[in-house]
Structure 1
Amino acid sequence: MTNPVDELVASLNPVRDDDITTSDETARALLTAITTETPPAPAPRRRSRLHLRFAALAVATVAAAAAFIVFPGRDSGPLRSYANAAVQIDVTGKDEYAVEVKDAYADQREFREAFAKFGLDVRLSIVPVSPGEERRLIRVGPLHAPTGDEPAGGVTGTSDTDLKCPPDQGACPLRVTLGGAMFHLEGADVVLGRRARPGELYQDATPEPGDRPKSLRLTGRTVDQALVDLDRRGLTWAFSLGEFKPDGSGSSWNAPANWRPAGDRRITGAWMRSSASVGLLVTPEPGDPAPDPNN
C-alpha cells in the first residue's frame, strides 16, 4: 500500500535519473573548477572596545612603572649631600662639610652612619647642658691618636657654628661647619649642647669656686647648713673635692656617690648639676677619697 507521504514527496521532484544528460567531460570540468578556486578571504573580526581599552591601559601601566626606575650613571661623581631622620650633611668645599642636626635627641648611630657615607669617621655627640648654654659647640678635636700617616706639618681641622635660635622658637636646627684633613685621617669628636630634659645631668657643669648661679648662696656655709637648705628646696646633692687658686687654675675630682664630709667643713663652690641636683665643692683633707685613676 502506497503511503500518501511518499506520493507527495515524489510529486515534488519532477526530474528523473534518465533526464540528467551531463557528460563525463562536463562533470570533470566542474570538479576541477571547484577544487582549484581560491576560497574567499574571511571577513575581518571586529575587536571589542573592551579589549582595545585593556591593551591601552597595559601600555600606560608599563610606561608609568618605567618612569620610576632610575639607573644611576657610572660616572655620577662623589656624594655631595646625604640626609636621614637625624642629620643632613652637604659638601660645601674641599674637605668642608655643613652639618645640620634635625633631631638633637636621635640615636648617635644615625649621626655616625651619615658621616660614614662621606668616608668620614666622626662621632657627633649632642649632650644636655646648663640653661643658657644650649646650641654651643662644647668640644671638637681628633677622635683617634695620630697614626703616622699625616702629612708634614701635622693635620689641621677647623670648625664653625651657626647655632642662633630665635628666643620665641622652642626648637630649631643646629648647624656646624667642619673642615680639614683631620676629619679623614684622625676622625673627629664633636660635642654640641642641647636643652636638658628634667633631671638630666648637665655635661658642661664642672666644679669651680663660688656659686653658679649666685642665687644658690651656699659658698662659705658649713656642710650641715648647705644640706639642710638643699633639703628644704627639694634638691639632691653630690660632692667634689678640689682646690683652686684666685686665677682659676686648679684641679678637682668627684667623690663617691653619697659620700659626705664632716658637717663643720666649709663649702667652697656650688653649681647646678641638673634641674634637681646641686654639686658641692670642698677642699680635700687627709683621709678624703682619692681621685679615681679610671676617670
Structure 2
Amino acid sequence: MSSRIDELVAGLGRPSDDDITSEPSGVAGRQLLAAITAGQAPAQGRRGEEVPMPRGHRLRRPVVGAVAATAIAAAVLVGLSGRDSGPLRSYANAAVAIEAKGDAYEVRVKDAYADQREFGEAFAKLGLDVRLRIVPVSPGREREVVRMGSLHAPPDGGFPPGGLRGTSTIVMKCPPGQNACPIRVRLQGEMFRLQGADIVIGREARPGETYHDARPRQGDHPASLRLTGRTVSQGLAQLRRLGLTSAFTIGAFTPDGAGSHWDPPAGWRPAGDRRITGAWMRGATSVGLLVAPAGDDPRPRPVD
C-alpha cells in the first residue's frame, strides 16, 4: 500500500543539474520541498496524544519515506553550497592575520601575548604546517628570533638534509616613539606547507614569567649577582634580602659552556654548606642557582 508521500515523490520529475543550486531555486527543488512540507502531521488527541490509527494501518513506510526525502534535500543544499569556493587565501583571528600573496604568506602578529593555540589555528586554516611561538625573554632580546627550524628536524636542530627549503623575512622593529606595533613575518617556500617550520620570537616577560632563554651556566649572569662561590645558605639569605625567589639546578659546566644539568623536584634544597657554582636571572624576580652533583641528589628523570 503506497503512501501519500511516496506518491508525491514518485510523481516528481528527476531534476537536472541546472535545476539544482545551493538554494532551492530550481523547479524540481521547489516541488520537492513543497511536497515534503505539505505532508499532514498525525492527528492529536487530548493532552497532545496521537489518535490511534485503525488496526493494520502501516505507519513505518510513510515515516521512512519522509525522512529519506528530507535527507536528499538536505544533501543537495549542503553538498553544493561550498562548490567552487577554493582554498582560503586569508584568515585572521584575535592573535594573528595571514594573507596569501602569490607563493608567499604575509603574517601579522597582532597580539604577542595571545594563546599560542590561536597562532597554530590560523596557519592550519591556510594549510600551513607552521608553529609560531611568542615567548617571554630576558631584557634586550624582545622582538628577536629566538629560534627558527623545522618541526621535523633531527635532534641537533636545523633543517633535515635534502629537505624542502623556504625563506622568511621578519620585521620586528617598532618605529621611534611607538610602543605597540605588530610583528610582521613573510614566509615563502614549499617547506612551510609540506615540511613544517618552528618559529620562536621573543617578547617582553610579564611579572612572574620565566624567561624562555634562561639557561643554567657557570658563573654569575649578570655579574652583579655575585652569588658564585657562596654557600647555599649565604646565597639564599642574600636573595631574601633582595626580595627575589630562587630555583635550583644540578649540573656541571666547563668555562666554554659544555656540560649537562637536570632539574630536581620543585622545592628541593641542597645542604646549606654546599657551594653555588652558577647563578642567572630566570625571570624578573627569580634567580636560578647551580650546584655541582652530589651522591644523595635526586637523579635525572628518565626521558619518555
Instruction: Calculate the TM-score normalised by the size of structure 2.
Output: 0.64
SS at match of 1:169: coil
* Counterpart code for 1:119: G
Distance 1:254 1:159, change over 3 A: farther
Q: Does residue 200 of the first structure (1) align with residue 192 of the second (2)?
A: no
| Whole-angstrom CA distance in 2 between matches of 1:152 and 1:106 | 34
Q: 2:296 aligns with which of 272, 287, 290?
A: 287
SS at match of 1:113: helix
| Whole-angstrom CA distance in 2 between matches of 1:93 and 1:219 | 55
Give the structure 1 partner of residue 226 of structure 2.
217
1:123-160 superposed Cα distances (whole Å, 9 cap, x missing partner) = 222111111111112222222479xxxx9932334433
Q: Does residue 140 of the first structure (1) align with residue 148 of the second (2)?
A: yes
1:162-209 superposed Cα distances (whole Å, 9 cap, x missing partner) = 211246433221122333322222322222211111111111111011
| Whole-angstrom CA distance in 1 between matches of 2:173 and 2:278 | 31
Equivalences, count: 219
| Whole-angstrom CA distance in 2 between matches of 1:93 and 1:275 | 43
Give the structure 2 partner of residue 190 of structure 1.
199
> Does structure 2 retain, via aligned residues, the 8 Å contact 1:163–1:173?
yes
> Does structure 1 retain, via aligned residues, the 8 Å contact 2:172–2:184?
yes
Q: Does residue 109 of the first structure (1) align with residue 126 of the second (2)?
A: no
RMSD, matched Cα: 2.7
> Unmatched 5+ residue regions in structure 1?
1-71
Instruction: Calculate the TM-score normalised by the size of structure 1.
Output: 0.66
SS at match of 1:184: helix
> Does structure 1 retain, via aligned residues, the 8 Å contact 2:145–2:201?
yes
SS at match of 2:289: strand
SS at match of 2:111: coil
> Does structure 2 retain, via aligned residues, the 8 Å contact 1:142–1:183?
no
* Counterpart code for 1:265: R
Give the structure 2 partner of residue 254 of structure 1.
263
| Whole-angstrom CA distance in 1 between matches of 2:303 and 2:222 | 30
* Counterpart code for 1:137: V
Give the structure 2 partner of residue 99 of structure 1.
107
Q: How far off is 1:79 after superposition?
A: 4.2
Matched-pair identity in %: 68
Q: How far off is 1:278 after superposition?
A: 0.7
Give the structure 1 partner of residue 244 of structure 2.
235
Which 10-residue stretch deviates more, 174-183 or 244-253?
A: 174-183
Give the structure 1 partner of residue 279 of structure 2.
270
Give the structure 2 partner of residue 81 of structure 1.
90
Which 10-residue stretch deviates more, 186-195 or 268-277?
A: 186-195
Q: Does residue 126 of the first structure (1) align with residue 131 of the second (2)?
A: no
Distance 1:216 1:93, change over 3 A: farther
> Unmatched 5+ residue regions in structure 2?
1-80, 155-159
* Counterpart code for 2:299: A
Distance 1:160 1:265, change over 3 A: farther
| Whole-angstrom CA distance in 1 between matches of 2:292 and 2:82 | 67
1:43-58 mapped onto 2 (5 Å cutoff): none
| Whole-angstrom CA distance in 2 between matches of 1:255 and 1:168 | 44
Q: How far off is 1:84 after superposition?
A: 2.4
1:253-294 superposed Cα distances (whole Å, 9 cap, x missing partner) = 112111111222211111111122110011112221222224
